[in-house]
Structure 1
Amino acid sequence: MATTVPCIAVRGSTGTSLGQGPPTYEPVSGFPRDASRSCKLMAFSPEGRYYVWTNGVSLKIAATENWQIVAEIKRPKISAIDFSPKGTYLATWEPFIISQANPQGCPNLCIWKSENGELVKDFIHKKQMDWELQWSSDERICGMLVNSTVNFYEDADFSKVVNRINMAKVAKFSVATGNPPYHILCNMPGSSGQPSFGRLFQYPKFEASQSLANKSFFQSDRVDIYWNKRGTSALLMTSTEVDKTGASYYGKQTLHYLDTKGQTAMVMLGKEGPIHSVEWSPKHVEFCVIYGFMPAKTTLFNLKCEPVFEFGTKHRNSIYYNPQGNILILAGFGNLNGGVELWDVGSRKLIAKIEAPDTTLLRWSPDGEHFVTATTAPRLRMGNGFKIWHYTGTLLYERPWNKQEELWEVLWQTYPRNTFMEKPISYRAVEGITSSQPQASKQAYRPPSARGQIINFKLHDDIDEPGPRYSSESNPSKAALKLKKKREAKKAKKELEAAAGVEAVATTTLTAPITGITTTCQQTRPSNSSFNGPSCNNVVDSDSCLTDDPEKNKKIKKVKSKLDQITKLKEQLEAGKHLEINQLDKIKKETELLKELEQLVL
């Protein structure tokens, strides 16, 4: 049996074309390459039976089994396309236009049969936002948002509306994936001063009292809906365009959970800031979130919205699961440096790291072993091209564009579910190639006045590290000299305070919490004494040394520092703040640390 090799569709200023994926990368024979410079759209049907594209004159549909064109629709103004889940129907949208000759306008949302381009039904839908039809996975029901009402059709019969959701204003809705019974999640915005609602219904029971789950929330200019693969659980990400507190340029986001059993929850995130990315695992039992001000946190949650694994705090903003769900890509694109990490989801281990700067697009191959990164226009007009990688971090193929050409989009061919099965993960890199593209320089820029001199600094200093970002020993700047004087003055002040403290006589009662043991420590030092240890104070609250043994004093300070951290964490917990797993574990060690401190001071 021949091995199935996914193809790659490419769209740009030179038209649209198809090429084989690894290992051949040859052009697909039989596909009629379109050289039009107006190929604004392309898509594969979900099951992979059809490939469709526009060229500024018409829309063409090709059957992927032999790449022959099966339909051509003469609609040059088509601006958006969308297949039904099985690829049986293709919906298209065009800008709504009225004129003096036609003040009512013409239908601009059309539904076609994919197999032959036959028009099934057309509607007027003025706005492009949320224009897509919502189908059940078996295509038995189809919903469409009309103004603030959801109309439902059955068995692709668009001549009559079978059911409606019109009990309240609906801003957005989504039909769950998976098998019957069908579930529909709606966002119903509240009026002034009233909360908005996310309501989950089972088709066709759409009365408020019949909802399976309800989640209320304030401050939601926009709501994004994420279903897991089975359609049993959903995430609602609510967003405001402006954060009224001024804390975030990106507005404010919150994440809510609902499921078909009626359970709801707010996903508690352990860092302040925006939510950058949310993705369900294809295995449907976990979801991953990147959140917080940069460097952002990345956390894996279970269906109880409990954190089960922390991927650390780094500069990331993108999540990509492979179709099988066993490999996860975490990346930082856009205004970040293009770092890409590949993780083994099952063992929670890092497989590889790569750098893919200027990446505007990343997509997994259906085989779950390869992925493509691309630099596309209009986001970036320089350095356009794409690369194909193996999940072990090896570069296998690259296709750069010349300066006169633009790359707009790269797509993998789709296939029916379970065409590619999950394979064991290998940590050994496969053989690959070296990129021919120039690598970004890792040397710091030096102004002409500093060139030819020995300059002592690290390019990537920790931003939280005190002191200047760099220093020049041979020719220090005025700012560096000023900062040096301030440090010296501060140091001298501390020495004077320490000298004055040597004259003190301290009497301290040391109370060890929990055990109830009390110890009194009195040290009297004359002015000519050589003893340098400061006076004792409370065990937890003071930084004082309690013995004449320097090594023991170091241990005491270390233990007291840990107890101070625990005290702060307990105060945060009592105030209702969400703590991380490692922080809760630290609190549990309080008794053990107190016993250790008691032994040290006796």
Structure 2
Amino acid sequence: MVAIENTQIVLASRPVADIDPKTTFRVQKESLSGELGPNEILVKVLYISLDPAMRGWMRDVRSYIRPVRIDEVMRSADVAQVIKSNNTNYKVGDLVRATCGWQEYAVLKPSEDLVKIKAFPGVSPSTYLGVLGMTGLTAYFGLYEVGEIVKKGGPNCTVVVSGAAGATGMVAAQIAKHVFGCRVIGIAGSPDKCDYLVKELGLDAALNYKSKTFFKDLCAVTPKLIDIFFDNTGGDILDACLRRIAFKGRIIVCGAISTYNDATPKGPAYYSALITQRARMEGFIVFDYAKQYGKAIEDMSQWIKEGKLQSRETIVHGIESAPEALVKLFRGDNTGKMLVKVAEEDSRSLRSASGIGLSEGAPAFGAPAGFEKQTGNIRVLQYSKNGQYLAWATPECVKVMDAQSLEVIQEIAVKDIIEIDFSPKGTFLSTWMRQIKTEDGSHKNMSIYEVKTGQELTSFSQKSQNNWNVQWTDDEAYCARMVSNEVHFWEPKNLTKTPFTKLRQEGMSQFSLSPGKSTSVAVFFGERKGAPAMVRIYSITNFTVPLASKSFFKADRVQMIWNQLGTNVLVWATTDHDKTGKSYYGETNLYYLAVAGNFDCRVPIDGLIHDVAWAPASKDFVVIHGQMPSPKTTLFDHRANAVHEFGRDARNTIKWNPCGRILVLAGFGNLAGTMDFWDRKTLKKIASVSARDTTACEWSPDNRHILTATLSPRLRVDNGYKIWHYTGTLVHTEELNELYQVSWRPAAPELYAIRSALSPAPKPTANSAVAAAKPAPARAMGAYRPPQARGTPAPSLFTDASANNTSASATSNAAADANLSKAALKNKKKRENAKKNKDSEDGALASTPAAPTAGSGANSPARSNTPRPNSNNNSSNNNKSKPQNGALLPATTTSASSQMTETEKKIRNVTKKLKQIHELKEKQAAGETLELTQLQKITAEAALLKELEALKI
């Protein structure tokens, strides 16, 4: 193992009163060689526990544990992961609770402090620093051993807990209330915390000790006095409860956080109540009961499963955040356990010809312990969006594994599944198989299951594999799918019943649900009978009036791209053919709609669109547009104004890292594979690397690493994956035979906020260093040539044409016309005019949707240069047939115009004029100079619109 740079925080000086993070602590770096002695293990720290006791450890006084020395790593209880081991009792990947201190890595020897832990479904490893850690054990033994709650507990026992919104008090209050059925009053420091204690944890009452009427309120809620007082705080709260202690009452003292920063702590003023009430006040240290930890953890684990114990955590991120977070702990800014998240158990899953494999993250990159490799024909692999579950399909069944404990928790006996997907919170699992033809066409090949029970909740008939799954709202309150011209909505609890509601709109062909808290639904209507295409946005609670709408021409289909907040949507519109002859890929346009209905526009771009991506912050977006081989890349703000150009290069892929700080612009598919890393904050390029033959690309949740892979069957040679740091360093590489899928385990982006100063690159692993040293195989390079132009001289149509230049198609046509006789030229013009008239007739040609793209189970190829967005329609009922040679099918064998009424013909003619005006306005907006007759035509738009409205009445 290469040397590891280890960040540590040490005690620099002993505070006299309040802690000053800048003078009390110091950040330093050390290098760990990775070499281990006998029985030693090397661990990566995941979570650091922040506790009030740390203030006492900084004092150079006699205590139950020696003080932390100056220049020593600050002591803390931690959860860590083994990344190297010389101890047979600890394997790589094991999770342990240990005293590592404020540092990123530690070398440990077996001791009483080193305990192997095992996560179970739905419980984070951080729980072993809270409910199942020292804080939870303190609450448990305080109530059992000092408070004698087994004897006193019950509905007639009144328990008061100070610091009840803190880590220890929260557990004590819940045990007293939900395990022993006592009447429990919590004391906290804000109205919000008091509301949480009553409404979420179910306490009988909660008091704000900062209130001027605190003691009066305490008397009101303790008419029969206090039988057990669990005290974390000391000071005035202890005095108030001493005045209300019952006869033979018990006062459990486990802390006095309100006095820790006092230069001269004060004693209780009403200790005489202990005499008059024959009460007992006793302090204790949790270490006194170390031999009973096993029983306590077993009990509390069971209470968690039964729902009697809830945990809440306040988490800060990054080891350097620890000093300031400790100050916040003493200010009472936390609710529940205060933790520092240092690192993630980042891992990757992969599917190859040999089965499924898992790999841990940096710096070990080893296989996790406890995972039994799945071999055989694995058809598809899928993580839940929250990273809680990993599911895969075999020819015989679908298995669901808890991604933390690596235990298979569900096996669904359903055969021949080739697509699977989870709902946003991982509550439901959808599956799809190829439809089997039956006489009545009733085979229901798409099903939804509840993950916890494995029960099938409902099923549908879904022919198309393209967009096969239902769409969910982020909160899983509703799911939806399209059936003919309707979008059906269900509540999950009533999936077996008729839809909860329906959105009915004639001509609707696609829909898309927005992310975010207030869900909207965007629907697309294609061009019909000369009328323009349209996108409308509705609230899912009101389909009567749209929130926003936008009409436009040149749209056979669209892709609706929402920002993460669900407040704005980009509509990427595509046609099958480019009538100007500039592109054989068709025409593309981009439109912007605000859900609020206060803004919409056409995004000003040049040429074809190759990729579009919102920044995670939802305030700006990037578009790659223009002719290959050197399209433009432009950054637009929240009002579609171009604010930065990233230059021209052979690119077709945009990848934002999860927090939006780093932007990757790349050219994959049949491009050279160059990846440019840009800093969004400074708009400067960080690095540029070559990732040839990349067919899949994905950022790690940690914001710092990006994975590129070469997958089968797109490419059957050089399969494998590479992990890059955003500084351009190749950190790790693996070569595998027939790799079909590889993906990161998802995690919340906020867990890995990038600091203001970008972190340096880590040292690469040995195999990546070797791979980086290999010379790239020689490859004949040249200018990009589209497939239809290869082997012929490069015409001028593959360069951007200015407004004053004649189009390439017109130039080539003029050259061809010069070689024709007069009679042939006359006949050619007649044919062209006839074709134009036919194209303008309504219904002459059927609109053709995009060919279905393969889903995850069919190994989707990397993005090509073809700028055709996928359909968002998840119903096969709206798919029109398309011959394999790409020819369009006639909609009817008779002339559509001959069947029109006079009014319909007038509507067609007016709409045609409006379309021409729309095109003229687009040219004008692009800076093109219009003739006087064209300008006059634009002025007639208002009159034409009124005429159109009158005709439709």
Q: TM-score, normalised by structure 1?
A: 0.71
In structure 2, the CA distance between the partners of 1:427 and 1:218, relative to structure 1 (3 Å rule), is same
Distance 1:263 1:154 in 2: 31
Partner of 1:28: 368
Report the Cα offset of residue 575 of structure 1.
Answer: 6.8
Partner of 2:550: 215
In structure 2, the CA distance between the partners of 1:259 and 1:435, relative to structure 1 (3 Å rule), is farther
Q: After superposition, where does 1:105-504 map in structure 2 within 5 Å?
A: 105-158=442-495, 159-180=497-518, 182-207=519-544, 210-272=545-607, 274-294=608-628, 295-401=630-736, 405-426=737-758, 428-432=760-764, 433-436=768-771, 438-441=774-777
Kindly provide the amino acid, as one letter, of the partner of residue 175 in structure 1: L
- Return 416-425 or 302-311, whichever deviates more: 416-425
Distance 1:62 1:575 in 2: 56
Contact 1:150 1:170 in 2 (8 A): no
Partner of 1:75: 414
Distance 2:446 2:567 in 1: 30
Contact 1:183 1:203 in 2 (8 A): yes
Report the Cα offset of residue 151 of structure 1.
Answer: 0.5
1:4 aligns with 2:350: no
Report the Cα offset of residue 5 of structure 1.
Answer: 2.4
Structure 2 residues without counterparts, runs of 5 or longer: 1-46, 48-79, 81-342, 782-797, 800-919, 929-953
Identity over aligned pairs, percent = 35
Provide, for residues 353-386 of structure 1, a one-character-per-residue CA deviation record: whole Å limited to 9, x for no partner. Answer: 1111111111100000011111111111111111
Contact 2:619 2:638 in 1 (8 A): yes
1:92 aligns with 2:427: no
Distance 2:406 2:922 in 1: 65
Distance 1:16 1:424 in 2: 38
SS at match of 2:436: coil
Report the Cα offset of residue 205 of structure 1.
Answer: 1.6
Contact 1:15 1:39 in 2 (8 A): yes
Report the Cα offset of residue 48 of structure 1.
Answer: 1.0
Q: TM-score, normalised by structure 2?
A: 0.45
Q: CA RMSD in A?
A: 2.3
Contact 1:131 1:145 in 2 (8 A): no
In structure 2, the CA distance between the partners of 1:224 and 1:80, relative to structure 1 (3 Å rule), is same
Report the Cα offset of residue 264 of structure 1.
Answer: 4.2
Distance 1:218 1:573 in 2: 12
Distance 2:512 2:688 in 1: 36
Distance 1:427 1:33 in 2: 35
In structure 2, the CA distance between the partners of 1:341 and 1:574, relative to structure 1 (3 Å rule), is closer
Report the Cα offset of residue 33 of structure 1.
Answer: 1.2
Report the Cα offset of residue 577 of structure 1.
Answer: 5.2
Distance 2:491 2:534 in 1: 27
Distance 1:30 1:154 in 2: 38
Contact 1:278 1:289 in 2 (8 A): yes
SS at match of 1:410: strand
Contact 1:97 1:105 in 2 (8 A): no
Distance 2:346 2:481 in 1: 33
1:49 aligns with 2:374: no
Contact 1:392 1:430 in 2 (8 A): no
Contact 1:141 1:156 in 2 (8 A): no
User: Across the two proteins, how many residue pairs are aligned to each other?
Assistant: 446
In structure 2, the CA distance between the partners of 1:206 and 1:195, relative to structure 1 (3 Å rule), is same
Report 1 or 2 for greater relative contact order, CA contacts < 8 Å, sequence distance ≥ 6.
2
Contact 1:265 1:305 in 2 (8 A): no
Provide, for residues 232-267 of structure 1, a one-character-per-residue CA deviation record: whole Å limited to 9, x for no partner. Answer: 001110111222322112211111111111034334
- Return 261-270 or 196-205, whichever deviates more: 261-270
Distance 1:107 1:352 in 2: 50
Kindly provide the amino acid, as one letter, of the partner of residue 27 in structure 1: A
Distance 1:346 1:176 in 2: 27
More helix by share: 2
In structure 2, the CA distance between the partners of 1:309 and 1:96, relative to structure 1 (3 Å rule), is same
Report the Cα offset of residue 576 of structure 1.
Answer: 2.4
In structure 2, the CA distance between the partners of 1:88 and 1:573, relative to structure 1 (3 Å rule), is closer
Provide, for residues 490-530 of structure 1, a one-character-per-residue CA deviation record: whole Å limited to 9, x for no partner. Answer: xxxxxxxxxxxxxxxxxxxxxxxxxxxxxxxxxxxxxxxxx
Structure 1 residues without counterparts, runs of 5 or longer: 446-462, 465-571, 581-602
Distance 2:505 2:605 in 1: 37
In structure 2, the CA distance between the partners of 1:352 and 1:106, relative to structure 1 (3 Å rule), is same
Provide, for residues 254-284 of structure 1, a one-character-per-residue CA deviation record: whole Å limited to 9, x for no partner. Answer: 1111111103433433422x21000000011
Report the Cα offset of residue 89 of structure 1.
Answer: 0.6
Distance 2:719 2:757 in 1: 31
Provide, for residues 72-109 of structure 1, a one-character-per-residue CA deviation record: whole Å limited to 9, x for no partner. Answer: 1222221222211111111111111124xx64432111
In structure 2, the CA distance between the partners of 1:16 and 1:214, relative to structure 1 (3 Å rule), is same
